[in-house]
Structure 1
Amino acid sequence: MSQKSGGSLRELRRSNQQQVLALLLADGPLHRAALARRAGVSRTTVSTIVSDLMDRGLVVQSDEEPADGHDGRARDLLSVNPGAAVVVGMNHTFDGVWVHLADLSGREVAARGVPLDPACGPGERIAVARDILRRLLDAHWPDGDPVIGVGAGVPGPIDHTTGVVGVSLPGQPWSHVHAAEEFERAFNLPVAVENNTRLEAVAEARWGAGRGVRDLLYVGLSSGIASGLILDGRLHRGTVGAAGELGHVSVSMDGPTCRCGNRGCLVLHAGIPAVLAQLRPAFGTEVGLEEMLARTAAGDRAGESVFADVGTVVGQVLANLCNLLNPERIVVGGELALAGEVLFAPLRTAIRRYALSLVRDVDVVPAELGVGGRVGALGGAALVLGETTALPAALNRITARQATA
């Protein structure tokens, strides 16, 4: 056999292996007959591929119950071994970084977050994240490095045609940085970089309040206000990565000037600084977020009144988005969502009042995964796990490398 023929056969075998892995990742557990049918190869070929993948620890017998439409016996079902590798979710907020490790089933393996000085530059932030990751790997995998990919969140819009973080507000630490290049150089791994609010949306869509929803709108109400759109099951980024800048929708054309250069932006009415400013006459100048939420939960009428106003103005904006996008569900997260029904009741009322009758009954629910940098890190892991086109090849490479080490 010629060298060329041998190379072609190796390439074909690798391609078939990756196709089987892709099917198991996307649709598993499956049995050999279903794999052969979906891959368009013979059962003999699938059996050979599966045997090799099982020998390498990539594929295991599944103990899951077969789903509807799966023929064959449950004990014959195969799935990707969740422990064969790990993915990293990493979230860089303005004042901290969180690193999350998950196995191939999405189960958390290890995680850690640390605060950072908001004045830190991208290089220092990446160095801190790399140190956290190294410590976690040394503690859990002292004999090897099973990481196959990183999903990293940063503030700001990321232009996926260039990989450069754009400028939505002055003073952002990642502005004009080619974030993907910087991360890949630091970690020597494939890195998917995404806006951290969009990663929160991905996390809620996979593991939280948006599970099973094809058309989802996630809204984060925090110091800033942003959103993430899952349309027909796919994350919507926009032409230059700027989709979801909800906080800079103008709600009063003659309102105060925003840092973005616009007037009357939503964030000036419903961001945490704006809400605290409205409550200081009643709560005092030293009031903070926790006290504001606690006093409102205890029935303070000033807090309830301000949150009613916030819910109404946010609901008006979301009603317009319902008319435009017709989402099945709206998930509201961020620290202000912790206020509960004093916020959600007026928000739902405003949507019902201002949205078209066809779309006004949209399901509006609180986020399930909590708040803070951890949620975006969960989304980073979910982003890597959702990239099934690249994941099988990465799995194949790491186990092949381990087998020859």
Structure 2
Amino acid sequence: MNVQFTNLSTGNITSTEWSFGDGATSNQQNPSHTFNSPGTFPVTLTISGPGGTSNVTRQVIVQSANPPVASFTQDAVEGTAPLTVNFTDTSSGGQIDQRIWSFGDGRTETITDGQRNISHTYENVGTYNVILSVEGPGGTSSSTRQIRVGNPVSVDIVGSVSDENPLEVGLQAQASGGSQNYVAYDWDFGDGQTQANGNASTSVTYQSGGTYTINVTVRDSQGNTGQGSAIVTVIEPDALVAAIDVQQTSPTNLEVGLAGSASGGVEPYSFLWTFDDGTTAEGQSLNRNYTAPGQYLVRLTVTDSLSVAAQAEVTVTIEEEVVVDPLSAAIDVQQTSPTSLEVGLAGSASGGVEPYSFLWTFDDGTTAEDQSLNRTYPGAGQYPVSLTVTDS
């Protein structure tokens, strides 16, 4: 404690001596003195002159000063670079004459004007110990708090087209940096579709093929955000086409096999048959029994996994069974004379179903296919001739 003393003595004074009670003295008229420890100090002023010597003593009581207690708050304990943190000095206790801030990154600031608020920006990633030291008559005190500065939030997008649906794209956001605790993903799929507060994994189904820019914004638990984007190309599937294969063992058979098929669209397909009598059936292939000859309309509707439908129609014709006479063949041998070596052969047929085909086979192994022909033999003799007639 510093005390200023004033000499009020009067008379003819030739010498002045102060004794401060702590071993220190002074010959000044009006000295000041600092007491460095608490206690009661007898301060004596002795004056001398022609008339003699006189002294007076006063007690100076020095009490212990209250020590300051350093403390402070900050508006962030972690964040991403660059991070600006606001600090508030909340120190208490005794008188504070000086505040020294050490921000842990090599920078300090000394405050002597009583200002309690200060801000500081951390440019680099790291963990920093912030120290506030306060000084006053009662001593020195310090308080330490920690700041963690991480990398900014960044995010990549990985996309994959669905095997089942070429218009559906699976998406995975891969975030890094920030607090590592990511609380929300806001998606923009590039076609007007969005998803707020979503997950890291999601999917989107586009209505048509094309190239789309997908954006995602990631938020971590500290409110830090990061953005990522990706471009995906979606190829629209070929148009769905349905077809019917009619399988008949004969034109008159009342049982008909129906086989459906499809191409394009997106598998799997479903098959729905509609018949002209109003009945329906499901399945890719089936057999249908008709009750009488006639023409019957068959419609097949194929639907793919995207609910796109295509149709095919066919008319099934069942002919009336025709009863025909048994097929018979005949040969007419035409000779101008019994000794003529050139013989005319005329084939004929009846019954069966026209048209007919004719096959001649001779004894020398040769054949011919005309209905009528002439054949020249080498000499007199008997020669077998075979005619085979086949109908339609």
Relative CO higher for 1 or 2, CA cutoff 8 Å, sep ≥ 6?
A: 1
Name the one with the larger helix percent: 1
Higher strand share: 2
Q: Same fold (TM over 0.5)?
A: no
| Alignment TM class, shorter chain as reference | under 0.3
Higher Rg of the two aligned structures: 2
